[in-house]
Structure 1
Amino acid sequence: MNVREPLSVLKGFGPKSAEKFQKLGIYTLEDLLLYYPFRYEDFKSKSVFELIDGEKAVITGTVVTPANVQYYGFKRNRLGFKLKQGEAVVSVSFFNQPYLADKIELGQEIAVFGKWDSAKQSITGMKVLAQVEDDMQPVYRVAQGISQASLVKVIKAVFDTGVHLELKETLPQVLMDKYRLMTRSQATAAMHFPKDLAEYKQALRRVKFEELFYFQMNLQALKAENKSESNGLAIAYDEQKVQDKIAALPFPLTGAQKRSLDEILADMRSGGHMNRLLQGDVGSGKTVIASLAMYAAYTAGFQSAMMVPTEILAEQHYLSLQELFPDLSIAILTSGMKAAVKRTVLSAIADGSIDMIVGTHALIQDSVVYHKLGLVITDEQHRFGVNQRRLFREKGENPDVLMMTATPIPRTLAITAFGEMDVSIIDELPAGRKPIITRWVKHQQLDSVLNWVKSELAKNAQVYVISPLIEESEALDLKNAVALHQELSEYFAGQATVALMHGRMKNDEKDAIMQDFKDKKSQILVSTTVIEVGVNVPNATIMIIMDADRFGLSQLHQLRGRVGRGSKQSYAILVANPKTDSGKERMKIMTETTDGFVLAEADLKMRGSGEIFGTRQSGIPEFQVADIVEDYNILEEARRVASEIVKEKNWQTDEQWAPIVQNLKEKTDFD
């Protein structure tokens, strides 16, 4: 028997059983061995004085009252008795298990596993244990037709064959010695059936390191390949022209902008392929840096393209590029364009008479043929899938790639989530920008807020009002927004026009409403959806967020960034009566800082990476046991050691790293 064989080699394991296990992604004996539990029940007895409310635990004691079964309704009953542990007497209940009454005798010493209720000093039983078990019981994720017991039974049967000893070691001996790691077969056995907590922790350390190390090896190898001089375009831009353009800007660049631009231009000039993330808070001036990079490409005879998520944003970037470079030929390309106009633009892109192109994902359609594409910029990169970005790269001769995001990604994660990319961070705001004043008010204070809004409207201010977010229901979101729109329309009747925008509208409807707001045809905009990232309405100075505690910090910060785009003082008002400590904490920290990076770190600690990124869209892998927030120290070490290995010139032929090369070949298309 070997680990690569299908489950059907096991005795009594037919095609039907195999089909059920495939739902869990288990096809071979190796898949089964590496299908780890996600937690353990610890069946060591505890003192009732140590227990926390809601905790699942085992308590032992002497039965001091007879077991009594009460029936109420069809097949519904409750078995109850009392247990004495030392000085404490505990009420025990089992629901719908009347047969247990025969097992419980007065004066008997028993162990009960269940859920503790500290207010009632009672335990709701799940299991009566004949004796206290000292071992830790694994708990697995299961699918329909597979019970915990049957899964454990099959896993035990596989371990009994000893086939796990054949699992190939994936880590080189030098790393095993350096970090004092268990072997792969030892760790696999201890992940399922640990002798004790200490052994389990050692197994967990080994498995986490392996997962994070291979994640980093892939990223570092990819990064090294990108950097190879033969892999990209050497864009020999005209330095003097770029410097003259910077000098002609109506404002000086900040130190962080200069640093980021230098990093981008150095990448463009090198023969390696640029793959860089430009990260900066809302209003930090990323667009001007991206525009200067596009201009540098133009001076070297290359076209550049900027892809943004929406047509209104494309329009905005198009106008700002025209303003910055009035002498250049700039085009816009969106799916909503008339066919004849689109044909003209496509023909001009193909013959090279267009220098810069801004558009939506229309830029990567088959019909678009670039003349000489040297630089590709994607704005709000997490809105575009990996495949869309790949299609863009294939449009030219492997053009340099710059991705921009206004989502402040915690420094601890940027290096990981975008490990194959270089990261430039703009972490200071341009001079003259006033920090947004943020206030947290309770619902009871809303009247005085609206009264203050009246006085601001008289000074020509414009206001966003974000309707509360109900995660479970878009229909309820809409209902809330419609009601809020109606209330505000009545409240501000005769003084302001109140517009409504929501997720059920078509894109062109939303664009039209947003354009009207920008043109000051409406003064108040009620919206359910997050107002489009990056849309610039310099006159909007007030952002009111209803039920703000329903949003995460990163989302609140993104919303707040819709105001404060001009030179006027701007305000964000968070309306919330949070019931939880973390809700109160979020409101408090929002009023204390406008630094997106500080908030992103705090959000990460409160909510974890999955919720912030939406793991599937971000490209961050979902690890089986590792967690990039909790295990950041292991991740950092894995990154450091992977980076060192990849820097070695002949690492792929060095005997000591052979297990790594072998494993990368098996797991990926690495060569």
Structure 2
Amino acid sequence: MAQQLSDAVGSLSGVGPARQKALAELGINTVADLLTYYPFRYDDLQVKDVNEIADQEKVTLKGTVASEPVLARFGRKKNRLNFRLLIDHDVYMVTFFNQPYLMKQITTGQPIAVYGKWDAKRSSLTGMKIINPNNADEAFGSIYPASKSVRQTTLQKLIKQAYDGYADVITDIVPEPLRVKYRLLSRRQMIHDMHFPASQDASSAARRSATYEEFLLFQMKMQELKQSDATTNGIAIHYDNDRLKAFIKTLPFELTHAQKRVVNEICLDLKSPQHMNRLLQGDVGSGKTIVAAIVMYAAITAGYQAALMAPTEILAEQHANNLAKVFADTDVNVALLTGSTKPAARKTLLAALAAGEINLLIGTHALIQDGVDYANLGLVITDEQHRFGVNQRAAFRQKGGQPDALAMTATPIPRTLAITAYGEMDVSEIDELPAGRQPIQTTWVRSNQANSALSFVRQQINTGSQAYVVTPLIEESETLDVKNAEALSANLQDYFGPTIKVGLLHGRLKPEEKDAVMAAFKAGDIQVLVSTTVIEVGVDVKNATIMMIYDADRFGLAQLHQLRGRVGRGSKASYCILVADPKNQQGIERMQIMTQTTNGFVLAQKDLELRGAGDVLGVKQSGMPVFKVGDPVADLNVLQVAQQDAHAIVQQPDWQDQPAYQALAQYLKVKLAAVGTLD
């Protein structure tokens, strides 16, 4: 049978069942996976002249072994291997730590090349590895992400074997017109130079080509999804415009320009027979919930049911309470379904839902469980989009006849990442705050100034306000977190005295205990709430005007901004106090920018620049794709160009049948079939 890149990696020599399993853990299942398992850095293995080397530089020296190697053991499992290396007429000491097996490769009088770190003061080299001096391919040594089960050397050998055996069947995926336009390498050359570059320039050219290829393939998948969504018959929701306008007039405030714009964008989508898949971004407190209420009311006036899914019970309950008030004078029947709903009440509720008597259902992921049947579901809204996985979103769409989908998030995602993470969605932004929202004053203090900050907190509480005090999660130990929080709440109770009640919220409390603490805080029975968990996004206690965050440098800017958004929700002036002793310049910058702006989008962009894409939202929970080569921040211009090119390709009628795009179309067909769906 002819060789194909889709061949299992087990078809290579030296890959038995155990190694195949270990490679699968690294995401390597096929020869194609192995060939695109790219190095994350290179060691420059070109031999250098001793006189040109800087102190502590990593270099390769080539010479002759001038003395017998000596192995000295010290401590348990620790050893040092020394020998002298003759280069021209000078002798240098070479030392390897904890690699006793290298003795066999060191023979007096024989040529040797050693890669290691140069110590200029001692004119000596701390060796890292021995290089085959005759191997011309190794001008640059590729370093791969390895694991306990799969070592560097194993990966290097297997990739070399795969390339030698399969180079002839590597064909181009990026269409030739685009390769010519951007001066990109052929795919065969690109893969070769990613793994075995002859120079720095060759490595850079390969990485540039690989980045574009990766981004183009990703954006093509996004465009394909967007197109299939557009051609999927959705529901044309012909809402009653007069009733909708009358409802908006009953609201106790004027909508902002941004809210009006966003409502119009969503309502246009509702009317369209194409399936809506829209992301609504709005900063903390920008009024997304009222936009959701308006568009859900629109769907209900057309005889459809609407559903709103929130990530936690606290948030679902809060939405249910708020929306019950908003819809008090309408014929909207609001119901709440969570994991805590009692069996008898659940049974009654589900019967009413199936009969169409409930037209707005709010809840947690309980909304998408088996047995929850809707009479006529037309609109689905997920709140805090990044907290829901792919499968949960897909399950909701199957609950009705392709209901329109609106996802909301208060986690500001810079335009950069919105292109990437939600490329298949249309994006609406609420980019202004409602009138009357008090700006939150943010200050940063060192931990030795915390007491003066606490005396300010006391003054505020004495005027009738409440405060949150957050201490970060230390992931290594939940027990430690609880002790930290308990110690902090005990200290604060001592500090504030008996007249001010301090409450405690941490991850080990049972759900009902958490709810009781939160209810007491909302009722004003607790004045200071200490929490290890991030106070739920959207939790709304209008009387809370102070957010004090200990060890604030342990949080990302987006998280700090979310926490800050828990205050400033009423008419009183509000304050955020960051207590932190950052250890480096980046930490100092992050604290400073928090005090300079309350714009979540500015902060999110800054967080991206300082921390990189993977850290901003946490790759796993945000649905962010993980790229092998490209960096959506550093390579933003390439990402945008790839998006424009992908859009231009799919706009062409029957593009898949054009000779230039056939390889690309075939590749995507195989990929999409393998994953089923990318929604």
Q: Could you state the TM-score of these two structures normalised by the residue count of structure 2?
A: 0.91
| Partner Cα distance (1:534, 1:497) in 2 | 24
Asked if structure 2 preserves the Cα contact closer than 8 Å seen for 1:238 and 1:299, the reply is: yes
Alignment partner of 1:206 is 2:209: yes
What residue number does 2:3 align with? Answer: 2
Please report how far the alpha carbon of residue 103 of structure 1 lies from its aligned counterpart in structure 2 after TM superposition: 5.3
Please report how far the alpha carbon of residue 519 of structure 1 lies from its aligned counterpart in structure 2 after TM superposition: 0.6
Q: 1:125 aligns with which of 127, 131, 137?
A: 127
Q: 1:504 aligns with which of 489, 502, 508?
A: 508
CA gap of 1:50–1:280, structure 2 versus 1, over 3 A, is farther
Please report how far the alpha carbon of residue 8 of structure 1 lies from its aligned counterpart in structure 2 after TM superposition: 5.6
Amino acid at match of 1:664: L
What residue number does 1:551 align with? Answer: 555
Q: 1:166 aligns with which of 163, 166, 169?
A: 169
Q: Could you state the TM-score of these two structures normalised by the residue count of structure 1?
A: 0.92
Please report how far the alpha carbon of residue 80 of structure 1 lies from its aligned counterpart in structure 2 after TM superposition: 5.7
Please report how far the alpha carbon of residue 442 of structure 1 lies from its aligned counterpart in structure 2 after TM superposition: 0.8
Map Cα deviations across residues 407-440 of structure 1 (whole Å, 9 max, x no partner). 0111111122101101111111111112110000
Q: 1:494 aligns with which of 475, 479, 498?
A: 498
Q: 1:43 aligns with which of 18, 25, 45?
A: 45
Map Cα deviations across residues 364-416 of structure 1 (whole Å, 9 max, x no partner). 12221111111111101122221111111111111111111110111111122
What residue number does 1:536 align with? Answer: 540
Q: 1:271 aligns with which of 270, 273, 280?
A: 273
Q: 2:287 aligns with which of 285, 288, 300?
A: 285
Amino acid at match of 2:3: N
Structure 1 gaps of 5+ residues are none
| Partner Cα distance (1:253, 1:383) in 2 | 27
What residue number does 2:35 align with? Answer: 33
Asked if structure 2 preserves the Cα contact closer than 8 Å seen for 1:276 and 1:402, the reply is: yes
Please report how far the alpha carbon of residue 334 of structure 1 lies from its aligned counterpart in structure 2 after TM superposition: 1.6
Amino acid at match of 1:286: K
What residue number does 1:565 align with? Answer: 569
What residue number does 2:258 align with? Answer: 256
Amino acid at match of 1:277: L
Q: 1:612 aligns with which of 612, 616, 627?
A: 616
What residue number does 2:596 align with? Answer: 592
Greater shift, 598-607 or 4-13, is seen at 4-13
| Partner Cα distance (2:324, 2:76) in 1 | 76
| Partner Cα distance (1:352, 1:158) in 2 | 60
Alignment partner of 1:304 is 2:287: no
Q: 1:668 aligns with which of 667, 672, 675?
A: 672
Please report how far the alpha carbon of residue 271 of structure 1 lies from its aligned counterpart in structure 2 after TM superposition: 0.9
Q: 2:197 aligns with which of 194, 204, 208?
A: 194
Asked if structure 1 preserves the Cα contact closer than 8 Å seen for 2:472 and 2:533, the reply is: no
Alignment partner of 1:444 is 2:444: no
| Partner Cα distance (1:194, 1:536) in 2 | 57
Q: 2:398 aligns with which of 369, 394, 401?
A: 394
CA gap of 1:405–1:18, structure 2 versus 1, over 3 A, is closer
Q: 1:376 aligns with which of 358, 380, 383?
A: 380
Please report how far the alpha carbon of residue 332 of structure 1 lies from its aligned counterpart in structure 2 after TM superposition: 1.4
What residue number does 1:182 align with? Answer: 185
| Partner Cα distance (2:213, 2:202) in 1 | 17
Which secondary structure does the structure 2 equivalent of 1:298 belong to?
A: helix
| Partner Cα distance (1:67, 1:380) in 2 | 62
| Partner Cα distance (2:291, 2:400) in 1 | 22
Please report how far the alpha carbon of residue 130 of structure 1 lies from its aligned counterpart in structure 2 after TM superposition: 7.2
| Partner Cα distance (1:576, 1:52) in 2 | 38
Q: 1:421 aligns with which of 421, 425, 444?
A: 425
Map Cα deviations across residues 80-118 of structure 1 (whole Å, 9 max, x no partner). 6899999x9997543245776995989x99864224578
CA gap of 1:53–1:634, structure 2 versus 1, over 3 A, is farther
Greater shift, 521-530 or 142-151, is seen at 142-151
Aligned length in residues: 667
| Partner Cα distance (2:355, 2:121) in 1 | 78
Greater shift, 74-83 or 493-502, is seen at 74-83
| Partner Cα distance (1:50, 1:483) in 2 | 57
Greater shift, 461-470 or 527-536, is seen at 461-470
Map Cα deviations across residues 311-336 of structure 1 (whole Å, 9 max, x no partner). 22122111221221112221111221
CA gap of 1:535–1:205, structure 2 versus 1, over 3 A, is same
Asked if structure 2 preserves the Cα contact closer than 8 Å seen for 1:79 and 1:101, the reply is: no
Greater shift, 34-43 or 16-25, is seen at 16-25
| Partner Cα distance (1:279, 1:488) in 2 | 37
> Sequence identity, in percent?
52
CA gap of 1:100–1:420, structure 2 versus 1, over 3 A, is same
Counterpart mapping for 1:637-656 below 5 A: 637-656=641-660
Asked if structure 2 preserves the Cα contact closer than 8 Å seen for 1:170 and 1:184, the reply is: yes
Counterpart mapping for 1:340-355 below 5 A: 340-355=344-359
Asked if structure 1 preserves the Cα contact closer than 8 Å seen for 2:420 and 2:625, the reply is: no
Q: 1:217 aligns with which of 192, 216, 220?
A: 220
Map Cα deviations across residues 200-231 of structure 1 (whole Å, 9 max, x no partner). 22222222222111111111111122223x62
Amino acid at match of 1:431: A
| Partner Cα distance (1:208, 1:240) in 2 | 51
Asked if structure 2 preserves the Cα contact closer than 8 Å seen for 1:469 and 1:551, the reply is: no
Amino acid at match of 1:338: K
Please report how far the alpha carbon of residue 144 of structure 1 lies from its aligned counterpart in structure 2 after TM superposition: 4.4
Amino acid at match of 2:589: E
Asked if structure 2 preserves the Cα contact closer than 8 Å seen for 1:578 and 1:584, the reply is: yes
Asked if structure 1 preserves the Cα contact closer than 8 Å seen for 2:279 and 2:406, the reply is: yes
CA gap of 1:454–1:127, structure 2 versus 1, over 3 A, is same
Greater shift, 11-20 or 431-440, is seen at 11-20
| Partner Cα distance (2:469, 2:19) in 1 | 55
Counterpart mapping for 1:220-231 below 5 A: 220-228=223-231, 231=233
Asked if structure 2 preserves the Cα contact closer than 8 Å seen for 1:190 and 1:199, the reply is: yes
Map Cα deviations across residues 446-467 of structure 1 (whole Å, 9 max, x no partner). 1111111111111011000001
Asked if structure 2 preserves the Cα contact closer than 8 Å seen for 1:67 and 1:79, the reply is: yes
| Partner Cα distance (1:54, 1:546) in 2 | 39
Amino acid at match of 1:651: W
Structure 2 gaps of 5+ residues are none
Amino acid at match of 2:430: I
CA RMSD of aligned residues (A): 3.1
CA gap of 1:308–1:102, structure 2 versus 1, over 3 A, is closer
